[in-house]
Amino acid sequence: MQIHVVRSGETLRRIAQAYGISAKEIVESNQVPDPNRLVIGQTLVIPISGQYHWVQPEENLWLISRRYQVSVEEIIRINQIRNPNNMPVGLRLYLPQKPRKSVEINAYIDPRMTRARSAGAIDKVGEHLTYLAIFSYAVKRDGSLTPVEDQPSLNAAFKDRVLPILVLTNFENGRFSTEIATTIFTNEVLQDRVLNQALQVMAEKRYRGLDFDFEYLGAKNRARYVRFLQKARQLLKTRGYFISAALAPKFRAEQRGVLYEGHDYQAIGQVVNFIFLMTYEWGWSGGSPMAVSPINLMRQVMQYAISVVPKEKIMMGMPLYGYDWTLPYVPGGKFAKSISPQRALELAIRYGVSINYDKVSQAPWFRYTDEQGARHEVWFEDARSMQAKFDLVKELGIRGFYYWVLGNDFPQNWLLIEDNFLVRKRM
């Protein structure tokens, strides 16, 4: 498939003619909000096999070959070029689809967020998933677990041959609790209670793996957490379950901060079957406007991770959401609103503003003024930003990637998965 960025004066009809397909195909594939109103900078995934390139001034076949990683000879053969040294500007060249990489893909879902839509959200994208992590069975201070209404999600997962993962957290009253983690990690009886209850739920509901999303642990729990995971691994292994852990995005081993100090990449990587790196939330609801997952910062985290953890154990995190900030940003002021990529596009169209693209973070953004005169800044994901992340996955050669969180509309993402990857199914 090909990503097209809308330019000034373009219409859907003209774009469709350029690629030799119908406008209807583009509308349906991208779920275009308003076919009659495109905005500059809007991306469209063109549902074709391979892609086209229009020759630009000063370009030659060697430059085009390097850009698309297709040999000069192959370009000449496919396009039946008679004079490779004299190609007119504007000539349309067809480039074949590249081989697809086999990966595993996980997505978290929070049934409390999606409510009745949880099963529908899974059905829409289940063919693209290897795992489904259901968030979350929260650990209480007495070692018991807070139940989740997970049966609709589980039924949808089994239907689509997606392996369900039970997620354990130290989540309490809307936030991660260092105190709960410390209480559990320093008491063998409570640890046994937590793990035995988790195993009971897994057996009853046919979960296949257990994911530990324990955050804000602090330095004091660094070694304790590893020992707890080692105990869990022994219990799970004998029953044929796999184990994973979600880890904060670190650039180095001794990174300061309560979020980072409790996660020992190397030690945890030796215990679990794979890790979920939370490479998102640099742009967050209480912070200043910026990309949620800047590719330059994601790369730094991944480079550190693969230096201490085997690549086949690493899953890189990707967001299925963005944020809408009200300006001016004031620390401690109004939090930004989480929005889906599709909703962000609808806002840009509604207010008739162009979409910009930051080349450093590889992320789209725009500003608008609402009906009350308030100014806003929106950072989100589009086809370009996701393709940049997919390219990083392929470049690094890691196990795969995962999403936080299902329930946000983003049709272009799933189109690009089909073009880039073969999704491994383990069920």
Strands 209-213 and 163-169: parallel
In contact, 366 and 378? CB cutoff 8 Å:
yes
Active-site choice (104, 215, 377, 381): 215
- Closest by CA position to 95, among listed 23, 19, 27, 41: 19
Phi/psi at 31 (5° precision): 50, 55
Q: Partners of 45 in the beta sheet?
A: 3
Residue found by looking up tokens 């991770």 in the block: 305
Q: Which residues, at least 6 apart from 393, have a Cβ–Cβ distance to it below 8 Å?
A: 101, 103, 316, 400, 401
Q: Residue 215 catalytic?
A: yes
Question: For residues 113 and 409, is the Cβ–Cβ distance under 8 A?
Answer: no
**Amino acid in position 192:** D
Distance CA 408, CA 334 (A): 22
| 208: its two tokens | 């296949």
Nearest-5° angle of CA 38, CA 39, CA 41?
125
180 three-class SS:
helix
* Alpha-carbon span 414 to 427, nearest angstrom: 20
Catalytic residue numbers?
215
